[in-house]
Structure 1
């Protein structure tokens, strides 16, 4: 082969190599484009509109999470299959229109409009088909990796569905105005019955007291917000939340102990909850019932029957997850933690030396079994983990010589607090 022919062959080979590289890059770009979050999202909604259940489910990664806020939280493949299958069975002519998409990295937000007829034969979210036409809008936020859906956080217009199928009156209608008026009347009435304005009882210490049981929740000013000491009764949730919001927001809750009438509002507030290590079991569990006698035996019959109902229906907000613990000597919002066990295994109080103020949970009581005021007394043996230890803790508190000692219920001990507490420990 001549030199000229060799050069021509080499040139042809380079052209072929370049063409192959271009083809490879083109295919790779096509594959990347097909795997893009927005492309996957469009194919997914096309499959839904085509009622192709298998194709839609196949686009999910195993274990992917479908979370329709407030309605459905399932995982792929079977949970997603059941959810989509229910939609197809309830709205047999369902179609989706994509109004817009916005993509960033592996996430694609899809604004959609659903049209169809709630004709059944299957139910939707437990609601039997009504035959009403539907037009709903919403946004799905899909997370896509490797061409598969790993998560979908969906935010549908949930209020339009009950209006369109007749569960709720049409917006602005006479019936809608009457419903709104009735709800506002109920809100005003329950607010008067359950709310209590916070009152300042010491420097940087606010009190919300609520029924039943005149439960005390203390709001301690703390770095621009408040720390709650004790969490009272569940019935106080709205009052405590409102007071905390007006004082800058609730940062955390420190439980004096884990009994039902001291953890009441804690589960609903969504902030970190702390307690003594020996109270974790009860705060996260029975609320004290594990060591109380069956049926609260030992209380007078009438009080026993009443308090069983109060524990269940008024005081207890349920178990609460403890995020951290405190113990003797720790600092909480300018107070020092003092261990006062007995009524509960890990009962604590808070002590502020500067004004000799004690917040002492149920170390002692200033109300009797029927809610009437009384001099300081030891807690009832029925509710105590260790009654002798409870009396020793009252003596320990007395030895601090408080100017004022605020318990977990009712009024404070003031005046000669030490003498009053020493008498309570001996009764």
Structure 2
């Protein structure tokens, strides 16, 4: 017998022993088949770590379905893995509940597949698949497929989706050739996320707020997919969508630690806000934030991103960056400047970002002047409306008079 055959035989033998224990409703015997650090991923139901967690889960299942039977339909082994197709039947009669649902008396008949990984005679991992929605239907937690109740539930879900989409974010709006902005945030949609077309999809620049995630993902899919997210900086209202898009995230090296932790809140000075904003802003930041991100790589002055050059504009944040396209003198600059009052939400003239959120306000002024010297034809910030027309003059006024 070859070593490969031995591995297959071992995996299959352990799988058969494990499912024999399931059939016998023997949670102790099931636990004995598991390695101490084994993990059972029952997709849509639970992630169980270690033998005790597996035993506890199945004890709950057996108490909820007193006549539960799980029979093996077939097994297929390769190397250290064995796939087991199974059929499970039973009655949700109790007396125990299952995952918080009280017994309904419903009869179930479910098919599924477990893919077990075995080493040294023990299960080290399992990926278990079944139709969670069908299980919910069969126990009465969801309406029957094709029923009037399901139709009404679907209509309600669609209505909620339409309302949520309307309030969460706008449809993409053209900024320039190959560049789009999605505006989000309730009620005024003052949070800007940019999509930059490139080969194979788009780059997302500036991460907006968490509530915009689905809208940005959907827009990106229509453009061929999102290749990466580039954070203008790490603040909560500029990284919000990044964790939920499941793509590589990039930022300036000086903002990497903040992007991976508190979003820069350690240098905020909320006491510089008025009384109302001091109370409200921490709550808004928590609501807006998608949470820390894993930074895949860093960018610096002069690096190229989707046909733009990176410009470093520190002050509001240590690693705040903008994107500059020389061909049409377009600048996407995150929070290099504001065109709204963050305490009231009122839009208006260009100004230095509020000192309550700046690492270094003097440096922020210098960065605005640096941008002015580039003489943009249009400068789009992380919030509200762009600067158009005599952009240099508007920026110089902002740096020197606000």
Q: Verify the 8 A CA contact 2:235 2:259 in the aligned structure 1.
A: yes
Q: 2:99 aligned with 1:99, yes or no?
A: no
* 1:323 to 2:299 alignment: no
SS in 2 for 1:402: coil
Superimposed CA distance per residue, residues 151-200 of structure 1 (whole angstroms, 9 cap, x where no aligned partner) = 11001221133222222222222222221221122222222333412122
Take 1:374 and 1:60, find their aligned partners in 2: how far apart are those partners?
64
1:209 aligned partner: 183
The worse-fitting range, judged by mean Cα deviation, of 176-185 and 334-343 is 176-185
Q: 1:211-258, CA deviations, whole angstroms, 9 ceiling, x for partnerless residues?
A: 245111111112221111101112211221111111111111110111
1:203 to partner: Cα distance: 2.0
Q: TM-score, normalised by structure 1?
A: 0.87
Structure 2 match to 1:172? 146
For 1:54, the equivalent position in structure 2 comes to: 28
Residue equivalent to 1:354: 327
Instruction: Tell me the CA shift for residue 261 of structure 1.
Output: 0.8
- The number of equivalent residue pairs is 397
* Cα distance in structure 2, aligned partners of 1:83 and 1:161: 16
In 2, Cα distance between equivalents of 1:195 and 1:283: 23
For the residue of structure 1 that corresponds to 2:213, the secondary structure is helix
Match of 1:258 in 2: 234
Q: Distance in 2 between matches of 1:33 and 1:237?
A: 45
Distance (whole Å) between structure 2 residues aligned to residue 138 and residue 409 of structure 1: 49
Deviation (angstroms), 1:335: 1.4
1:153 aligns with 2:161: no
Largest Rg, 1 or 2: 1
Cα deviation code 1:317-374 (max 9, x no counterpart): 2222222111112211111111111111111111122222211110001223333332
Q: CA RMSD in A?
A: 2.2
In structure 2, relative to structure 1, the CA distance for the partners of 1:353 and 1:41 (3 Å cut) is same
What is the rounded CA distance, in whole Å, between the counterparts of 1:357 and 1:179 in structure 2? 46
Q: Distance in 2 between matches of 1:143 and 1:33?
A: 11
For 1:253 and 1:131, locate their aligned partners in 2 and report how far apart those are by CA, in whole Å: 49
In the alignment, which residue of structure 2 is the partner of 1:235?
211
Please list, as runs of the form range in 1=range in 2, the aligned pairs for 1:180-195 lying within 5 A after superposition: 180-195=154-169
Query: Which 5+ residue runs of structure 1 have no aligned equivalent?
Result: 1-24
CA contact (8 A) 1:329 1:336 kept: yes
Alignment partner, residue 312 of structure 2: 339
* Within-5 A mapping of 1:386-401: 386-401=360-375
1:272 maps to 248
SS in 2 for 1:290: helix
Shift of 1:414: 1.7
Matched, 1:285 2:261: yes
Aligned counterparts of 1:355 and 1:177: Cα–Cα separation in 2: 51
Q: Does the 8 Å contact 1:132/1:165 carry over to 2?
A: yes
Can you list the C-alpha shifts for 1:353-403, whole angstroms capped at 9, x where unaligned?
Answer: 222221111000122333333221111111111111110111111111112
Alignment match, 1:200: 174
- Are residue 409 (structure 1) and residue 379 (structure 2) matched? no
**1:305 Cα shift?**
4.1
Contact 1:33 1:39 survives alignment (8 Å): no
1:64 Cα offset (Å):
1.7
Change over 3 Å in CA distance of 1:233–1:33 after alignment to 2? closer
